[in-house]
Structure 1
């Protein structure tokens, strides 16, 4: 059996072969992160993500979540689509000024990353087991009570940016994270230092001012939370701030100077699906539930369901109406009116808001 450092080097090679950009190792003592987690939960910043609180401090205690765990292998996978052009962040920011265009967060335009990463993490675990023998393990990717950013930071994947996302000098923040909890003792990777400096671009650009300060996020105001995690009515005072974002929000990443180093994925999985880039709000609002389920099969978008999809687009259409001239406003009102008697109260209420806040000129 190779020595531990040699084994880690081998795991990193195998990881690259599977499409991961970097592999690191963290220990299981995350006790120093517990006070921050408790304070964040106590302030209610997790909103209606009850699972964040229900697991308590198990999130910071890997050996309690998966008994026998002594090391955590962390993995990073870039997700910018293969065809991403130079100046991509500027192009994405420009799309926000086209109010009738529907904006889906870059990460969600392709295949569901949960499926992609989990399958490849399992292959990596199988490869390790071939080398060392029976291996107690469990793979995660944004799917369990795991302090992903904390583990990533401790294992050299990057540092925690002021927007709370992990940043890397060679890869920006446009990547997914995954972990394999193992019962195998491995040497920890060296963490990297913080390189945000005095920059506050992410804090300044947040449309809803959800980033209260460096590494302090109120998820209840975050557009990603509101359009994906939040199950009910979107607070009325926040609706105008959502603009034309219908699933997620990339603003804090688009303005981050480190994302000029963001890396294109080598995998076709994250290439955008037809209809999720450049589509109009009216086009997507017309999707029936059957069409929605078919077009989002294997996509992370499917998890919000058709009703929330319509809720989000109704808000964006209301925002588009506010700045539309009459020639473009008429089809928006017509599309909204077609959903005014939708069976779901959630949809009806947001459609009514969109229309009432933008009455037709007399």
Structure 2
């Protein structure tokens, strides 16, 4: 009997010890880890960034610009007007034809003009003959006067007659010169090397003096008349360069230069006209095409600049996230000029060429985060 009691007591004690051990183990698992245990815990996995979300720092040349737009027109435009009245016998130039300075592009019928010239020349010849006779008469009167045969009155009358005829001859000579010029003007000539942009007449048409016959343009140099806001006109100077994109040129960018600036603003607006000169030696540009672009008003060479999204701020100031040794670091920076039109900010101090900076707008990224970068160029 006593042996059975001992055996039962041992079984009870063993069961109680086993239950206590199990409860203590569960309590230990539920309790929060100590500081030492926390420090020995494995570090969480880092962040992987795409190559497009970071940038390697490299100096570049940036410009401050003023956006402009306007229509391109030929710098030189010439209207060819009729210098005589009459009927057009020939009109040889068509719209789009290239012409050279002095080339005949139309002719008037010259029958009437030649008749007028012949009449003027005949009248002049007759009057010149009268002048020669008057000169001879004057010379004879002087000889007779010296011999005491001719009177003083006769001498004075001969001199007056000669002077009158000489004046008439000069008038007729001017008339002949005008008639010859009119005959020459019957040939309509191109005023300069260019292209015919407009033709207003046809052969056989009778036109009065000063009628516009053609319009000729020189496409070697184009001009863009653009409007600049008065708030920015103080930055624009003659000689500044511009990059312009002209419609119809497949997005091609052409170099332009500020040639002239209007002295007053356009009435009823807050804008000033600025005239840009555009070389067009290849003749690819045409008048009336719309152009947009930027005038470079200031240049900054060898600048380190980052997108505005790359600049972060905290209570200590501006900084960026620099990736070094597989980890993100807080890199303080000093900022310079802002290029709002390009979305860039100059970093005056704090970065060097080759630094890898997070430039994507990722506000959840923090310093001291492990990072890997894929496809970094």
Q: TM-score category by the smaller chain?
A: under 0.3
Q: Which has the higher contact order (CA 8 A, sep 6+)?
A: 2
TM-score (norm 2): 0.17
Structure 1 or 2, whichever has the larger Rg, is 2
Structure in which a larger fraction of residues adopt strand: 2
TM-score (norm 1): 0.17
